[in-house]
Amino acid sequence: MSGGGYARLAIDHEGFDVAKRLIEMGVTAFVLKYRLPNDQSQPDKSIAPLLDAQQSIRLVRQRATEFGVNPARIGIMGFSAGGHLASTAGTHFAKPVGQDPTNTSVRPDFLMLIYPVISFTDSLMHGGSRTNLIGKTPTPDQIKLYSNDQQVTIQTPPTFLVHAADDKTVKVQNSLRFYEACLRHGVPVEMHLYPKGGHGFGMNNKTTNDKWVERMQNWFDANGWLTK
């Protein structure tokens, strides 16, 4: 899921381009064009993106045979604010926000979070993402609910994290907090930090010859997620 601060979607370099690369690896990839929060058209704008994320997991799982995928190997990937949405899907699945008479699980089997927004606390938040999702004056309970490092449990899916230490838009501590929360709860987690790269580099951090996408492919291989 692409980023854009819950105000727009960077759907090319954080969406379609990534999907093409995943397909080259042998991954069946889908790009979700999720709804952005909107007070005018949504009774509760804070749940609209999550409704779409959960429905996408539900739909792929229900139609797994048609799509030729394993219903027990459905992951979700997000960049920046899309990383916040992906981490929300990975920590808020026990009580789905939408109605589903089939009770199909909306828990992703693994998470890939690339320079993600994680925390909505005053010290770590990306202001635009927080304001766009939960408003200018959120309650402490809302801030905690959507600070996804505080929502990690032993049921949180295995996670792959990428961030640059010099990210001035989304502080690297967002990924660090999620990593630490995974460790505390015994959740398998792998993190790749780069000294430079800033924010929004997509698949290509031009400050290094190292390719995080290749690290992710190694992670897939190590966990057997590229086998049917």
Element housing 174 (H / E): helix 173-184
pLDDT digits (tens, 9 = 90+) for 47-64: 889 999 999 999 999 999
pLDDT digits (tens, 9 = 90+) for 32-52: 999 888 877 777 778 889 999
Query: Cα angle vertex 191, ends 186, 192, to 5°?
Result: 170
Q: Are 3 and 10 in contact (CB under 8 A)?
A: yes
24 confidence band (pLDDT: 50, 70, 90): very high
pLDDT digits (tens, 9 = 90+) for 152-202: 999 999 999 999 999 999 999 999 999 999 999 999 999 999 999 999 999
Q: Are 20 and 30 in contact (CB under 8 A)?
A: no
> CA 183, CA 59: separation in Å to the nearest integer?
31
pLDDT above 70 (res 227): no
> CA 163, CA 198: separation in Å to the nearest integer?
8
pLDDT digits (tens, 9 = 90+) for 137-152: 889 999 999 999 999 9
The Cα-based distances of 61 to 9, 56, 66, 102, 224 in angstroms read 24, 9, 10, 11, 18
pLDDT above 60 (res 228): no
> CA 69, CA 122: separation in Å to the nearest integer?
40
> CA 185, CA 149: separation in Å to the nearest integer?
11
Hunting for tokens 């995974």 — which residue is that? 182
Map out the domains of the chain with their CATH numbers.
Answer: 12-223 (3.40.50.1820)
Give DSSP secondary structure letters for 90-116.
Answer: TTS-SS-SS--TT------SEEEEES-
